[in-house]
Chains A and B, each alone.
Chain A
């Protein structure tokens, strides 16, 4: 084997020159690649932006929160359990006795029971039917990071919880729905014929995609929900440890505690990081799927490149013949046209990356979008690969031309 002659920079220079000779053709040829790369960059940036956004949402929940829910939530691979099988429906609910026993079994943590119901809520202005109402304790606000900020009222107190006082803390969304003009704070609302006072409005949290929309919740002392439901079932428990290093051990202890009472598929003990990684894996799958669809246009773009390279080769048959006559060996011709195809598609890739990046900046104004370095690297790599794959056929055709036939070509 001998070293590559001509050297790469000579080839690149002559390729760029021949590409520049046909500017409008170059642009049209690269259009397929440009569109393909732009859409791949855009879609992955949206997927990634979504992920970052949701991660931020979860961080506000706190890394030291453990949830105990009835049913099997996760499958063995860490994704969400999609089985609509028995285990999800023989949903155990927990009782106040469970809560009390758990409190005794595990010390040094805050345990907050949650009971939920769906009811109609009326304000002086409007009615919200079938709204989610969450009954919980005075500690929930602090544990879940839902304490209203300064000027927006407060969470209910232990005293109010014990007395089942008629107080309610509203999510930001439902507060606005019930009182479209002016603040909900201090106003009265009717929940299932109970006249209740709004003591706090939680800051806007935003809904986690697919997940519950906290902004639409109304929080009341747990005893009130028990009354509405006519039972004392607890739907979920929130366990807050004093720091996040204790989360792992506490999860084990809590699991052990419930295994003594229930079957292993009847309840789930999880923390926010687990929930997060499941959601992340869903978004990643979705992003890859969408980007894959967009990548189809890259194939179309590649065919465009192949087409134009075939035209170039036959246009320049005489030149190829001359080069061969004065000593260009087949591989030199092959590499020359391959490099031209790669430059052409990388040019398209580069423009596509810039357009995709500008597009995601624009989208970011109303939807989370964030371009990742890896998507840029992949897009560029893929366009180079497209150039190689679709450039090989024309380049090899050029390299196989007989010098004299090529020279005689008209």
Chain B
């Protein structure tokens, strides 16, 4: 592995590791290997981007890293814990506390205020209710939406909606942020704002970030690029 010279962070311990992960989709009697033996390590404090052509398996890989899906074979280790031994409830708790997921489609609850959307992960956590609002406001302030607390998604621009989604991903103070094409539905200005936010989260708040994008310019902003092709890691590079 070649370390990026531009990196200001010293990558630490391995927080996430995939070993020979295969994901096979079966429809009817045809099977398709969306991932074909992927092994990778992600260290604490890294900013990694995953890129590759459409249909190469980026989202599939991201879902497995994010514990939203389980591999057909192979192991996923999160902070040295093999997650194949965990049940649905334990996985949900990890998704709630350790991981923060940002989607291309934002996935905000309709007719629900920005503040309530941001606070949603808290209702499944141990954070006492009295702290929910102050935490929600803090997160929305961090993404620059402190004056849009009561706006519903329909009353926000696309870029603002994605920032609400990022605030939601941050509310439980996760170690790892996973973002699948977070700028895919945004214009270039909003996309730039979102990328700046990720840099801030990585460089200032020392969070580990995994970003999926098919935009090479965005991918190059990371410490490390993983290029995936036909379900296999093609190049792992700066």
Contacts and interface: CB of A to CB of B under 8 A. Distances in A.
Tell whether A pairs with B. Answer: yes
Nearest to B96: A327
B68 A329 contact: no
Interface stretch (B3-11, B26-34, B119-127): B119-127
Contacts of A5: 123-126
A7 B66 CA distance: 26
Given A7-B129, A407-B68, A327 B92 contact: yes
A319 B63 CA distance: 17
B111 interface: yes
A325 interface: yes
B121 A327 contact: yes
Interface residues of A, number: 23
A328 B124 contact: yes
Contacts of A329: 88-89, 92-93, 124
A329 B87 CA distance: 10
B107 A324 contact: no
B70 to A, nearest CB: 9
Interface string A1-26: 00001110010000000000100000
Given A318-B107, A330-B92, A10 B123 contact: yes
Find the residue from A323, A326, A331 having the highest chain B CB count within 10 A: A326
Given A6-B123, A6-B124, A7-B129, A326 B101 contact: yes
A404 interface: yes
A7 B96 CA distance: 16
Nearest to B70: A402
A322 interface: yes
Given A5-B124, A318-B107, A324 B129 contact: no
Interface in B99-122: 101, 103, 107, 109, 111, 120-121
Contacts of B169: 326
Interface string B63-105: 1001011000000000000000000110011011100010100
Given A10-B123, A325-B101, 6 more contacts: A5-B123, A325-B95, A326-B120, A327-B96, A330-B88, A407-B103
Instruction: List 3 A-B pairs, minimum CB-CB distance, nearest first.
Output: A327-B96, A6-B123, A329-B92
Interface of B: 63, 66, 68-69, 88-89, 92-93, 95-97, 101, 103, 107, 109, 111, 120-121, 123-126, 129, 168-169, 172
